[in-house]
Amino acid sequence: MTARADETRPSGGGNLTWHRPAVTRAGREALNRHRGATLWFTGLSGSGKSTLANAVAAELHRRGVRTYVLDGDNIRQGLNKDLDFSADGRVENIRRIGEVAKLFTDAGLVTLTAFISPYREDRALARSLQPEDFVEVHVDADLATCESRDPKGLYGKARAGEIANFTGIDAPYEAPENPEIRVDASNRSVGECAAQIVAALEERGIVPAPDAEREDDDDDEEE
């Protein structure tokens, strides 16, 4: 793993000053033996974002990688419970999550966010906060597949007019044009999609491959 220095930040305006921590991101990553990063899962409701994010987190945790899942429903019951599902509410929802995910990345965690995040502009804002550490994961499932699953019964309510501004029905979803990872959630199993994502993280040097982990352990024993 290559340690990297923490980002240099300018002082804020007025009475604000950016305080440099005694423990740096590089130090935390060295302790963790993997990089910090944000995996931004995006897709329609019912595409399997949360299920897949948790499957990836479970596999990484099994390998000793420190992770945290930021789930859309959970966040809206706490941090963002004051926001509605209007266009402005969705923008602020994603902005806050982007800032939180950036902090978690700085803490050296692999953070997995599971949000519909339907607008490209909002996802671009989240990416701009940590461009070198942002991995967009498009959980690609077509509307018919998502509607046939409808685990929460939301599509039925939206079709009946009981839910307004529902993505894919009366609100748009702008699919990623060039995501770092795209998984076919209509035709592949959760396990297959999770394996694809973990392999991509290994290729990007975010987490070590199992063989690399064993080699590091052997080196420690020799010392």
Q: Which residues are catalytic?
A: 117
Following DSSP, what letter does each residue of the chain receive, concatenated? Answer: ----PPPP-PPPSTT--PPPPSS-HHHHHHHHTS--EEEEEE--TTS-HHHHHHHHHHHHHHTT--EEEEEHHHHTTTTTTT--SSHHHHHHHHHHHHHHHHHHHHTT-EEEEE-----HHHHHHHHHTSTTSEEEEEEE--HHHHHHH-TTSHHHHHHTTSSSS-BTTTB-----SS-SEEEETTTS-HHHHHHHHHHHHHHTTSS--HHHHHHHHHHHHH-
